[in-house]
Every structure is written in C-alpha cells, then in structure tokens.
Amino acid sequence: MHGFSYKNGSLFCEDVDLSTLAAEHGTPLYVYSAGTIIDHYTRLDAALDGVDHEVAYAVKANSNLSVLRLLATKGAGFDIVSGGELFRVIKAGGDPAHCTFAGVGKTRDEIVYALEQGIYSFNVESEEELRYLDKVAGELGMIAPAAVRVNPNVDAKTHKYISTGKSENKFGVDFTAIEELYERASKELPNIRLRGLQMHIGSQLTSISPFIEAVEKVTPLVLTLKEKHGIEFWSIGGGIGIIYKESLESGAVDWWESQPLEERPLTISRYGEELVPRLKGLGLKILLEPGRLIVGNSGVLLTKCLFEKRGSAKTFKIVDAGMNDLIRPALYEGHHEIVPLSEPPTGERFKVDVVGPICESGDFFCQDRLLPDFQPGDYIALMSAGAYGFAMASNYNSRPLPAEILVEGGTATVIRKRQTLDDVIAGEL
C-alpha cells in the first residue's frame, strides 16, 4: 500500500496536492511519501518477529540523504555497494556498524574506507576478492569481517537483468564450492573473520516459492558453517516485488482483498509467515536487504505534456521527462503506471506512446498503451518511481537532474534542489 490517491478530483501524495507541487517546483519532479517508506519498513520489521533479525535497506534503490535519515531514525541497517553509499549513510546519521558492503568489484580505497569506519561485514563475491580483502586488512593491521555470497542456483523467474541467483549470473560463489572455500579461508587467511553467509536470488519477486526454495536449500549449509566456523549471521537478501501495473489501485486495502487468493501478489505478512518458521530455530541473526519494497511505491515522477504528435501509425504524447530522468522502461522494459494528476472520467481510453525529449528511439515510458486522454499543458504521474528512478538518473543530453520532494502529511520539503545548467558543467575545464 502507499500514500497516493485521488481526492476531490486531484492526485494527492498523503495530504499534498501533486498539481500544486508541479506548478510550484516545475517538472520533471520526483515526489516521495515518507509515510509509505516508514510503513513498509516497520511492517517488514514486524513480520520477522520471533527471529533475531535486522532490516538493512539497500541504499542503491534510493540514496537521497533524507530518505536514508528517515530510515536511520527508525533503526534500519544499510546494505551498501560502494564507498560512496557508505559515505551517504554516515552523512545521514546511519551507523557503519550496521552496514554490510556488497558488490563484485570493491576497490582498495573502498575497502580501506569501510574497514576504518568499522562496517559490520563485507559480503564477498569470490575467493579472489576474499584473498584481496585479507591482504588489504593485513597491511592495515586489521581484521576484516566477511561473509561469502553463495549462489544457490535458484531461478527467481524474474527479468534477466535483475536475476542474480543462478549459476550463469556474475554474483556469488557456486553453492557446491562454499564449504571448501570457508575451510581454506579459515586456515590461510589470518586477517579475515568469517562472520556470516549471504545470498540474494534476484529482484521483483512476486511469489513466495523462490524464497522458500532458496532458504530450504541453503539451511543445511548455514548450519554446517555455524558448527565449523562459528558464523553468527545469515543474510537472506531482499527481492520482494512491488505492484507496478496497477500501482495506484494497489494503495487501497480493498484492491488487495479483491485479488483472487491464488493470484494475489506476495505480501509482507505472507513473506514473514512462510519464512519465520524456517529461520527461527537456526540460532543465527537473519539480515534482510530490501530496497524496492521499502521505497518503490513511495515515489512518483511528475512530468508535463508538451505536445501531441499524431502520425499515420501512432499517436505520441511528448512529455518533459526523459530516459535520463527514469531509465527503467528503456533499460529493462520496466512498466510504470501513468495517470493524470486530474482524475479522468471513467470510460474511453486512447492508444498512445508516451515519449520524452531525449535523442534516442528508446526514450519512451510506454508504447501502444491505452491511457486516459491528457493534453499539452497537463501534468501526469509515472507511478512506482521511488526505487531505481532518481538513483539511476543522468545528465545525458546535458539535461539538469530533477528536484526531489519528501511529503510528510501536509508538509512538502525539497530534499534535493533542481540542478542548474551551471551545476551540470561544474568541474569541467
């Protein structure tokens, strides 16, 4: 569920009319619901009651300092994939001792920085990386806490670009090689503390089955590593999906209750009900690394229709946001529900392409989609844009980055100023 709905004919974020924000701050414009972020975090945390656990938010999903600060005040840990993300967490008031550092290509500078800040664990992706971590830690006279990422070869049945748990993916160490790797590391790497085991099978999973399969497959391995090497935690990753195709409607409880039980998307409560019994007897701390689940449906990208172009084959609605602002549709066919800020009448829909101003044929937000009519000058919202939206934005075509706004009840705060053209070329000679 989320904080977006029509009220008196206008689309609101919590208690703020989005059309007023678009008019005041311009477009493209990212707007986030603080209440949605907090609600998703607290409900996931509560769903794991009965198990020693920590919810470590995946910073890559949305790394705005105000978003990180909001989660830090609620006690969240953080899953980071770069030294820059660790820097952001610290600036936002997060505790490095509750940070895990993932990623397949950590540099020496990043490792040194993370060791000096006292992170909880490095999630290591290969034996080569583990040996390099040992070398760097030894040169500093330090012990590096580490967990190897196991690749359980479980098919998450998600898009190939966000699948991470199969043998052909670049992430992790083969399931059959983990025990021997821990044995070698315990004997040969004196500057490594084997603190845990990590896994993550992919993103945007809307079925519980892959999670159950992965947990049940890896549990015997976890217990063996606990007995032989004294590991203290098991990170089971993130990956719980969100609603994209009926995003606006899914903000209401009634929508969820109307879905046939066998077709109902995975809920936070179902996730906890299925996994807690499988995890509670292990005697290990369980880490979760959600990103999209926490912030995905908390955000929208507002954009203004500039022109309508009617051709013999298609009708194009040209808007002022582009693939540089939200790249998911171009990058991996990501679907975003598109709704006018003024509530449309029920009835006729028109088949259109919604496209941006970028000089690329891939610069589109939808193709051949039936949408309510909107005209030049009207504002629309691209729903479910809170995760991998601004975080993946760029200055392609020398376009300034959008502003970001955080809404808390009836208060809207600018949490990132819109870039100016001077900002875009800052640092260049």
- Show binding-site residues for pyridoxal 5'-phosphate: 239, 289-292, 388
The one catalytic residue among 99, 305, 359, 366: 359
Q: Which residues pair with 56 in a beta bridge?
A: 77
Residue recorded with tokens 């707007």: 31
CA dist 270 and 209 (Å) reads 11
Report the binding-site residues for substrate. 292, 328, 332, 360, 388
Instruction: Tell me the angle at which helices 127-140 and 178-188 cross, rounded to the nearest 10 degrees.
Output: 20
Q: Is 359 marked active-site?
A: yes
Residue 11 has which token pair?
């689309």
SS3 annotation, the chain: CCCEEEECCEEEECCEEHHHHHHHHCCCEEEEEHHHHHHHHHHHHHHCCCCCEEEEEEHHHCCCHHHHHHHHCCCCEEEECCHHHHHHHHHCCCCHHHEEECCCCCCHHHHHHHHHHCCCEEEECCHHHHHHHHHHHHHHCCCEEEEEEEECCCCCCCCHHHECCCCCCCCCEEHHHHHHHHHHHHHHCCCEEEEEEECCCECCECCCHHHHHHHHHHHHHHHHHHHHHCCCEEECCCCECCCCCCCCHHHCHHHHHHCCHHHCCCCHHHHHHHHHHHHCCCCCEEEECCCHHHHHHHEEEEEEEEEEEECCCCEEEEECCCCCCCCHHHHHCCCCCEEECECCCCCCCEEEEEECCCCCCCCEEEEEEEECCCCCCCEEEECCCCCCCHHHCCCHHHCCCCEEEEEECCEEEEEECCCCHHHHHCCCC
Can you say whether residue 204 is alpha, beta or left, with left for phi > 0 and alpha for psi between -120 and 50 degrees? left
Dihedral sign for Cα atoms in the order 155, 157, 160, 161 = negative
Peptide bond into 28 cis (omega under 30): yes
**Active site residue ranges:** 359
